[in-house]
Every structure is written in C-alpha cells, then in structure tokens.
Amino acid sequence: MAFSDSFFASKFGLRTKDLESYLSDALSQGGDYADIYFEYLATSMIAMDESIVKSATQGVSLGVGVRVISGERTGYAYSDDLSPEKIRKAAKVAACIAAGPAKVEKAPLSEGQKRNLYPVLTAPNETGFMERVDLVKRAEKAARDYDPRIFQVQSTYADSLRHVLVANSDGVLNYDRQPMARLSVSALARQNGGAPQHGHAGGGGRVELEFFLNEKTPEHFAREAARQAVVQLDAVEAPAGESVVVLGPGWPGVLLHEAVGHGLEADFNRKGTSAFTGRIGQQVASPLCTVIDDGTIASRRGSLNVDDEGNPTQRNVLIEKGILRGYLQDQLSSRITRATATGNGRRESYEHIPMPRMTNTFMLAGESDPEEIIRSVPKGLYCANFGGGQVDITSGNFVFSASESYLIENGKLTRPVRNATLIGNGPEAMKYVSMVGNDLKLDEGIGVCGKEGQSVPVGVGIPTVKIDRMTVGGTA
Amino acid sequence: MIDLARDVVRQALAAGATDAECTISEGNEFSAQVRLGEVETLKEAGSRGAGLRILLGQHTGSSYTSDLTPEGISQMVAGAMQLAAVTTEDPFAGLADESEYGSIPGDLRLYNADVERLETGVKIEMAKRAENAALTFDPRITNSEGASFDSHLGRRVFANSRGFAGEYRSSHCSISAVPVAKQGEAMERDYWFHSARGFADLEKPEDVGRIAAERTLRRLGAVKVATQRVPVIFEPRTARSILSNIFDAVEGRSIYRQSSFLAGKLGEQVAAANVTIVDDGTIPGLFGTSPFDDEGIPTRRTTVIEKGLLRNYLLNIYSARKLGMKTTGNASRGITGNAGVGPGNFYLEAGSRSARELIQSVANGFYVTELIGSGVNIATGDYSQGAAGLWIENGELAFAVSEVTIASTLQQMLMGMEAASDLEFRGSTASPTVLIQEMTVGGR
C-alpha cells in the first residue's frame, strides 16, 4: 500500500510534506528529535448480563500527539483536532522543552518495510452487529448450561480498530491498521446457599470475527469460566507461608511479566531504579529459564507490526539459560544509552508519551513431562489460573493472585483451594525454578498491562514450571 | 457546551429515541516531571468528548465521539440508535421521575482559578523543590524516580430528555515525589503526594519531599517474618484500599447480582459496634464532591454502616429499581454507556484513640504501609494481599518487613476493626488508621 492510500492520507488528505513541516515546527526551538503520532480509534462493546443484552456502545476518537526530545528532556502536546493550525500549535507547545536554534538537519521521510502480522481483511467492527451479539448470547447460554449451580453470567464482547501513523525526524514514516477483538465470560456459582464463587475466562487477539466461530468459540470460554466457578465451590483454605509452587501452562506466565518483564524495561534501568539494573550478563534465574519478549507472533494480542514509535517489533531474548541478556527499549532510552531499538515503545493513545513496554512475554519449553513435575512434589500448591499481578520494580517484590489452584499432596492434585496471593522477589524467585515442562502454552489473549496510568494489550505464556520456594498468602 | 448537550438530546429524540442522556466532558492537563534536578518531561494539552445514551422503549444504546462537529454529532446519534436495536428489552431500564433530577445548591469549591493562572516556571519549581527536599534529606537517598507537579482543569456537562441540564467545572493540582534509597545491595522506593482543588491549598513541596524520603528510608533493611496470626494496623494510605473494597461490596450492581458478601444483609450487624462508614458527595472542596451525579441526580449523604449495622447500599437509578429502592445519587460513568455506581466521599468515621495509641496497644503485630496486588474477592470476602511495612514489638514500630502476605476475610476484618482519630481526606475514599484484631501474615 502506498502512502497516498493509507488511512490518514486518504481520509484526511495528509501529505508527507505536511508531516515534514510539522516536524520542522516541533524542532523550531532546537532539540535532538521529534515525532508525530496520529491515531484514529473506533471501538464497540456489547455486554450481556442476567440473560439480557443490557448494554451496547460504539464510538470513535481521533487525535495527534507531538513529542520533542532534547537530551533527556521530553516535551509533549496533543490535539483532538487534526486541523493544521491545531497540529502546529501542539508542535510549538512540545517545542518549548528545547531552547536554542532550530534543528535543521532532518532526514527526509521514507516508508519503513511493510509486513502484516495480522492480515485481517474484515475487522470485527466492520461486521454486522447481530453476529457480534450472537457471540455473547451463545456464551451466556453455554455457561448456564454447564451446571445448574451457575446462577449469574456476564458475557462481554469488545473490539477495536486502530489506525496509526508515526513520522519522526530520523526519517521514519510508518502506518498500521490494528484490529483487536476480545470475548470474555464471568460466571458465579453457588450451592446450598453458600458463598458465590467466581470463574472468569476470555480471549481473542488481532483476528477476524471468524476466530470466535471456528477456533475459540463462545462455548469454549463460557465452559471454562463456569468450570472454574464450580471448582471453587469445594475449595478449602489456602496454606500460609513458604511452599513449593507448580505453575500450570499458559496464563500463569503473568509470573514472568511481573517477576522479570517490568524490571527489564529500559527506562527504569537507565535511571538505575530497577532491581535488575546493572545485571546484564549475570545469573538472575535458574539455567532452565529462557525468557523471550516477542512482538511478532501472528495475530496475538500483544503483537504489533510497528511499535507506537514506528520501529518494527522483534523477538528479544531477555533471559537466556538464566543469564540476563537485554532490556526492552523505547526511543528515548535507546537514544540516551546508545542501545539498539527493540520495538517496545508503546503508548495507550495519542494523549500519552511512549514508554518501554512488553509485547508477548513467555518462557521457552523445557524437557520435563508436566505429570512428572507434579509427581515430584510431596507437598505444595499447583496454580492453574491467575488473576492479576503487580510488581515493585525497585525492591523487585512482585505478587500475583491465584484464582484456581490445588493442593499437591504426595505427587497428586487433591483439593482446590481458595483465592490466594503469592509473593516473591524478582531476581531471586526465578533462581528457584527447578523443573520446566515441555508444554509451553501462550495465554488466550486477554491480558492488559498497566504502567504509570497507561494500559496496553499484552500476551504471556509459560510451560508447567516448578518453583521450589514461594510465599503463599493463605490463612491455613 | 450545555447548549450542545441539549441539542444532542433533541437530535436523539428527533431520530426516534424515547429518552436520551448526553454527557460532554472537556479537560486540560498539565504535567511537569523533574528528575535529579532537571526537567524530564513537560506535557500540556486538552481534549473533549461527547457521549450519548438513548432509550428506545426499554432498549438502550450508547455511543461517543471526540468529533463535536455537526457531522460527528449526527454520526454519534445514529450510532446509539443503531445499537438500541440490538440490545434486549430490559424492564428495569429507564430514566427517573423528573422530580428526582437536580443539583445541590451553593458553592462546592470544586474549581479554583489559581490553578489555571499558574505559570509553567512555577509548576516546574514546585516539583524541583519537592525532589530536592527528598534527595537532600539523608545520604542513603541515592536516586530518584523524580518528582512531579500535575494539574487538571475540567468541565462536565450533562443533559437529558427529562428537562435536566447542568454543568460544573473542576480544578485539581498535585505534587508527588518518588525517592529511591539504597543500603548495601538492597534498594527501596516509596512515594508521597498531596492534591488539592486549589494551588493555595497545596502542602509545601518540601513537606511532600521529606515525607517521601522518610517513608522510603524506613523500608530499608526489610526482612521477611515467620508466618503467624497477629493484630494488623493499616496506616491511612493502606486503610483506604480496604474502604475501596467495602465500597465494591455495597455498590448496587454487586448487590442485585448477589456477587457481594454483603448482599441481603441490610439491617444486620456486619462490623464492630464502633464502625461507621458514610458516603457523602456534598462536602465542599473534596475530591468526591459534585453537585449532581452522572445521571443528573443531586448528590447526598448516605450512611452505609452505622455502628456496625448495614444501613444502606449505594445506588444509581438502575440498581435502585432492581432492588426496589431509591437512587442514592451515586451514578458514575465516563462519557457514555449505562451508568455504573461510584463513590462520593466514601469514608470510615474517625474513632477516639489516636494512631499512636493503637500502635501502643499491640504487643506483637504488623503495621502495613504498602499493599500490592488484587487478591480481594468481593463475592466471598476472601482477602489476600502482598504487603510491606513495619513490625510492631511491645507497642513500638521496631523493624521493616517486606515480601509477606496478609490474609483474612473482609467479614472478619470488619468485625475486628477499630478506627483511629486521624481521618484526613486525601482522595475520594478516605480512612483513618485502622486496627484489625487478627490476620494471617504469610512469610518464612
């Protein structure tokens, strides 16, 4: 696709010479670098609750953000009006960060290499509404049909289609069309007037609507949510204190996201505030652990053709056989530390300044049979599903909450246990990984990562993993 | 803008809607971040958005746009109408009686012009002073994630087809500092901030920086304690998060869906006899105050728990109808969609003993200064969070503790709760220091 056929050129008449002129305005007070980011976002959401399609919302937002970098300083301004006067005004406000003569040397804009990791012909929000409503109805029915003890079901379908265009003073010009869809189901189960128990499942990605008809159906997610809720009905109190913990494959990869991922973002490391600062080349995990962040996996929720600074995403090795190999970079940190861009500069919207962020973060499969891993544990906890997690990157302490877990007694999964938070320390916890399964699984496409008030979609994945020591926050 | 909102409502009715509600929101933000004495980031911009929710009989449809041109507005109206055709008829959907709409009178002091008049240089200086106070407080403060000054000016407009139209402006500014301390190989960070509606009400940046430094330093040398059951004291910053959990358990949606441990418990004793929890959206100058809620209903004061007895839930129009009750003026939404329920100023009333006295009453216990994670289950009341803080020995804060968990149930925590006298409103949810009789601390 030529630039003239791209979304912003065809819909708003944007020309490359306009972009070059805005970038000149941005650098009119000096500065080392400027970029401009256009975003058009159309979203829709349909929610069914109590067997009624209770809400449906759709809308559009549009805007442009201009950034100027001068040394370690950043100026940023944005506008929700794409008129040239408003864009120039934003460029001039952002330019105030720099003080000096205009920077005149600017590379001429040239388009980056094109690829398409998500060749979605018809984005989900370009399909009929009734087809999308049908997904939430099917999910609701399947969850209720799963077990008579299910008494509340909420199913939500949400999609978006984002068009972005980034141009910068290094000459990068890139644009992308980014579809996304997600179906999620939450179910509540109750027996004999006892406490309601919650189950949740969902997934999607940068896919067409057919994904939910052929690959991961509403029934798939609904049964999973209902199953989790029903399992919890018999849950006993979780143990308190240190324990052997086995993580099941897939979504428990949240562990990597919290324990190591955030701590390897280049902004914290450039500033020396991460528990991983200065540890490149050191052993930070057991030799069984190789951790990757890969923004190039086709159709995945965390994948991008180009990051929000116009750099192509790539596959980055973070930890190789336990040795820390690299950080996740954005434009600012890679400029300051003279590191190579890794394609991890992301932002929530045109109103936000890019930061180094994860894409899809996972651990490579090992050699152990998952059954054998469980058999090796005389007493411990098996975590099949997680809720969210959080990390304090400076101390390295992180938590995640286990939403479906089981006691391991004499090498067998016995009773389900109630929700509990697990806590560990990033550079330490991974040293206790003693077995890694051969069953790497990526999550189903539901992750949202929050950092400094900005949310972006991400993916995680992990094989079955045994950790010899973690603290479990139960009451028993 | 109020005329635009009224016009959107008219257009929706003309397009065939039975009823319509329009929200328009406008905001200007400014942020200055400094680090190690230098400006790191300056951000300044504004944006606007409009949202529409319509009823077509008992069907609802919602839409929003950032394009407030006539073309953008007519697309928004068409979008909401289109979606009303795909939702199900809901017997409980609908607006309130005309008589219920309105604004509370008087100056609520939500907007202070001194925030708008601030010059960039002054704002940068505030952040620099806060950071400098933190960096120079102690040689063990070796680094900083920076300090910032943020301000926000907003305007919110709401109009509906029952004749309500209202608007209010708001202002907000804040200073924060995040120092980093080092001792041996171990690093710790903590933060402190202060927010106010007006610049003149803001605490001195030197105080913000100093408190941030003190908080960071006292985390150094933290150890993990043995697993045990002990009394736990939450300082106001962490106690606030328990109040947020309780809010989630008394808001209307979780009640009518029976997904809260407090559903069906009105009139019952759910907390210790000295516990009173109130929601009040009318207190001038506070962060949870507004003249009307996001459905155009006047805000008010509602006692949620009175001396341990559960008295009221917090409701919007929809959840009130579902429960056969009246709205409490707690509707909350962004700019579009069916309204949810949000807090006004939701707080635990102060008790009689000071925080110091509560600490002195504990022979062996945990003083929690930081919570991490999302391990609270409102349906069951199960509570399990990561925590850091200080260990209490013989009534004194003795040493730093981290990488532990605290667990109980919200039911037991409420029954074993005592509030100290130090209630202060630093956000829309507020709590004094709180003592919980017993929780499980998970450690070694």
What percent of chain B clears pLDDT 90, i.e. is strictly above it? Answer: 99
A129–chain B Cβ distance below 8 A for any pair:
yes
CA distance B228 to chain A (A): 9
Size of chain A, expressed as the number of residues it contains: 476
Q: Is a pLDDT exceeding 90 seen at residue A222?
A: yes
Which residue in A82, A107, A99 sits closest to A23, CA to CA? A107
Backbone angles phi, psi at B152, to 5 degrees: -145, 135
> pLDDT by residue (tens digit) across B144-154?
999 999 999 99
CA distance A75 to chain B (A): 5
Place of tokens 């079901």: A153
Sign for the CA dihedral angle at B66, B71, B74, B78 comes to: negative
Q: Residue A388: its pLDDT value, please?
A: 85
Which residue in B401, B441, B433 sits closest to B417, CA to CA? B433
Residues B59-76: what's their mean pLDDT?
97
Q: How confident is the model at residue A113 (pLDDT cuts 50, 70, 90)?
A: confident
Contact at CB, A74 and B40, closer than 8 angstroms: yes
For testing contact with chain A, the best of B174, B257, B403 (most A CBs within 10 A): B403
CA distance B139 to chain A (A): 16
> pLDDT by residue (tens digit) across B184-242?
888 999 999 999 999 999 999 999 999 999 999 999 999 999 999 999 999 999 999 99
Tell me the average pLDDT of chain A.
Answer: 95
Q: Rounded to whole angstroms, how far apart are CA atoms A421 and B383?
A: 9
Burial (0-12, 13-18, 19+ Cβ within 10 Å), B264? exposed
Q: Residue A30: its pLDDT value, please?
A: 93
Query: What are the domain boundaries of chain B?
Result: 2-217, 222-444
State the count of interchain CB pairs (< 8 A) between A and B.
260
Partner residue opposite B42 with nearest CB, options A56, A97, A418: A97
How many other C-beta atoms can be found within 10 angstroms of the C-beta atom of residue B182? Answer: 17
Q: Residue A160: its pLDDT value, please?
A: 97
Q: Rounded to whole angstroms, how far apart are CA atoms A468 and A189?
A: 33
How many other C-beta atoms can be found within 10 angstroms of the C-beta atom of residue B291? Answer: 21
Contact at CB, A60 and B66, closer than 8 angstroms: yes
The token pair at A189 is 């189960």
Contact at CB, B42 and A62, closer than 8 angstroms: no
In the CATH hierarchy, which fold is given to the domain comprising A3-232?
PmbA/TldD fold (3.30.2290)
> Which chain B residue's Cα is nearest to A402?
B375
B377–chain A Cβ distance below 8 A for any pair:
yes
Q: Residue A107: its pLDDT value, please?
A: 86
> Which chain A residue's Cα is nearest to B372?
A390
Residues A318-334: what's their mean pLDDT?
96
Contact at CB, A55 and B258, closer than 8 angstroms: no
> pLDDT by residue (tens digit) across B35-57?
999 999 999 999 999 999 999 99
Interface of A with B in 413-432 (CB under 8 A): 418-425
Angle between helices B120-135 and B205-217 (to 10 degrees): 30
Q: How confident is the model at residue A1 (pLDDT cuts 50, 70, 90)?
A: low
- Give the ipTM of the model, two decimals please: 0.94
User: Position A411: which residue type?
Assistant: G
Q: What are A121's strand-pairing partners?
A: none
In the Cβ-directed half-sphere of B308, how many Cα atoms lie within 13 Å? 11
> pLDDT by residue (tens digit) across B123-140?
999 999 999 999 999 999
Partner residue opposite B86 with nearest CB, options A129, A387, A474: A129
| Residues A307 and A346: beta-carbon distance below 8 Å | yes
Contact at CB, A394 and B187, closer than 8 angstroms: yes
Place of tokens 């120092």: B179
B128–chain A Cβ distance below 8 A for any pair:
no
More confident residue, A4 or B94: B94
> pLDDT by residue (tens digit) across A369-378?
999 999 999 9
E-only strand ranges, B200-276: 228-234
Q: Rounded to whole angstroms, how far apart are CA atoms A386 and B65?
A: 35
Q: Is a pLDDT exceeding 90 seen at residue B336?
A: yes
Partner residue opposite A421 with nearest CB, options B180, B186, B373: B373
Backbone angles phi, psi at A364, to 5 degrees: -70, 150
Q: Rounded to whole angstroms, how far apart are CA atoms A282 and B228?
A: 35
Q: What is the dihedral of CA A138, A139, A141, A142, to 10 degrees?
A: 110
Could you give the C-alpha distances from A446 to A171, A288, B146, B380, in angstroms and in order? Answer: 35, 27, 32, 24
Give chain B positions within 8 Å (CB) of A50.
257
> Which chain B residue's Cα is nearest to A258?
B373
Which residue in B234, B415, B232 sits closest to B308, CA to CA? B415
The kind and range of the H/E element at B323 are helix B317-323
Contact at CB, B372 and A50, closer than 8 angstroms: no
The token pair at A453 is 């008030």
User: What is the DSSP code string of A275-342?
Assistant: TTTT-TTSB-S-TT--EEEETTSTT-TT--SB-TTSPBP-EEEEEETTEE---B--HHHHHHHTPPP-
Q: Is a pLDDT exceeding 90 seen at residue B289?
A: yes
B245–chain A Cβ distance below 8 A for any pair:
no
In the Cβ-directed half-sphere of B439, how many Cα atoms lie within 13 Å? 35
Residues A233-247: what's their mean pLDDT?
96
- In chain B, the largest separation of any two C-alpha atoms, in whole Å, equals 72
Q: Is a pLDDT exceeding 80 seen at residue A103?
A: no
CA distance A127 to chain B (A): 13
Q: Residue A3: its pLDDT value, please?
A: 86
Could you give the C-alpha distances from A4 to A15, A122, A253, B134, B297, in angstroms and in order? Answer: 8, 21, 42, 52, 50
Q: Residue A465: its pLDDT value, please?
A: 98
CA distance A315 to chain B (A): 29
Backbone angles phi, psi at B143, to 5 degrees: -155, 175
Q: How confident is the model at residue A455 (pLDDT cuts 50, 70, 90)?
A: very high
Contact at CB, A474 and B42, closer than 8 angstroms: no
The token pair at B97 is 């009686």
A131–chain B Cβ distance below 8 A for any pair:
no
B187–chain A Cβ distance below 8 A for any pair:
yes
Residues A381-409: what's their mean pLDDT?
94
A147–chain B Cβ distance below 8 A for any pair:
no
Place of tokens 């907003």: B154
Give chain A positions within 8 Å (CB) of B375.
387, 399, 401, 419-421, 473
Interface of B with A in 58-97 (CB under 8 A): 60-67, 72, 75-76, 79, 82-90, 93
Partner residue opposite B375 with nearest CB, options A394, A397, A420: A420
Query: What are the domain boundaries of chain A?
Result: 3-232, 240-473
Backbone angles phi, psi at A158, to 5 degrees: -140, 140
Tell me the average pLDDT of chain B.
Answer: 97
User: Position A409: which residue type?
Assistant: E
- Is B2-217 a domain of CATH 3.40.630.10? no
Q: Rounded to whole angstroms, how far apart are CA atoms A10 and A13?
A: 5
User: What is the DSSP code string of A143-175?
Assistant: HHHH-TTEEEEEEEEEEEEEEEEEEETTSEEEE
Q: Rounded to whole angstroms, how far apart are CA atoms A470 and A381?
A: 10
Residues B348-363: what's their mean pLDDT?
98
